[in-house]
Amino acid sequence: MFDRLKQELERHRQRPFLEAAMAACALIASADDEVSFSERARMDAVLESLAELRIFDPHEAVNLFNARLEALQVDRQAGQGEAFEAIRRGATAEGAPELLVRICVAISLADGKFVVNERAMLGLICAALNLTPAAIDEAQSELAT
């Protein structure tokens, strides 16, 4: 019983980070106007590998991601505003902004190309997280090792 309560508490505490991560993934994946299968597969790998996200049902995360994509398709400007707000709300813990940037870089590199639009969106995400654009290069270096 206590294990279940502990898990529920952890889900509650990590929910804003899940929402931030899915918002960031949607922004990056849609930056080049094409959400590839490899980007979706990389997102699944991120969900499985990060302890902060592994506690959630993957279907719940995918539903959040798809909802963000839909909001971006309906009204790009409003969808971006909502996504950036979720990113700011969910990346308040120490290390969370840098982790979100690493997730975004991993998604952007999933299809083998790091296009200009994705890098520009990463720059906007860094700005929303009060990080310098150098965080992108740092994340890229970390993922290359």
Of 85, 5, 96, 111, nearest to 53 (Cα)? 96
Task: Determine the Cα–Cα distance for residues 138 and 14; give it in Å rounded to an integer.
Answer: 25
Task: Determine the Cα–Cα distance for residues 53 and 83; give it in Å rounded to an integer.
Answer: 18
Q: Calculate the CA dihedral of residues 39, 40, 46, 48 and round it to 10 degrees.
A: -150
- pLDDT per residue over 56-113, tens digit each? 888 999 999 999 999 999 999 999 999 999 999 999 999 999 999 999 999 999 888 7
Rg (alpha carbons) of the chain, rounded to whole number: 14
For residue 32, what is the DSSP state? T
Task: Determine the Cα–Cα distance for residues 56 and 43; give it in Å rounded to an integer.
Answer: 14
Mind listing the domains of the chain with CATH numbers? 9-144 (1.10.3680.10)
Is a pLDDT exceeding 60 seen at residue 5? no
For residue 139, what is the DSSP state? H
Q: Note the pLDDT of residue 51.
A: 80
Residue pair 86/19 in contact by the 8 Å Cβ criterion = yes
In terms of Cβ atoms closer than 10 Å to its own Cβ (0-12, 13-18, 19+), residue 107 is: buried
Q: What is the pTM of this model?
A: 0.89
Q: Note the pLDDT of residue 134.
A: 94
- pLDDT per residue over 21-63, tens digit each? 999 999 999 998 889 899 999 999 988 888 878 888 889 999 9
The one-letter code for the residue type at 58 is P
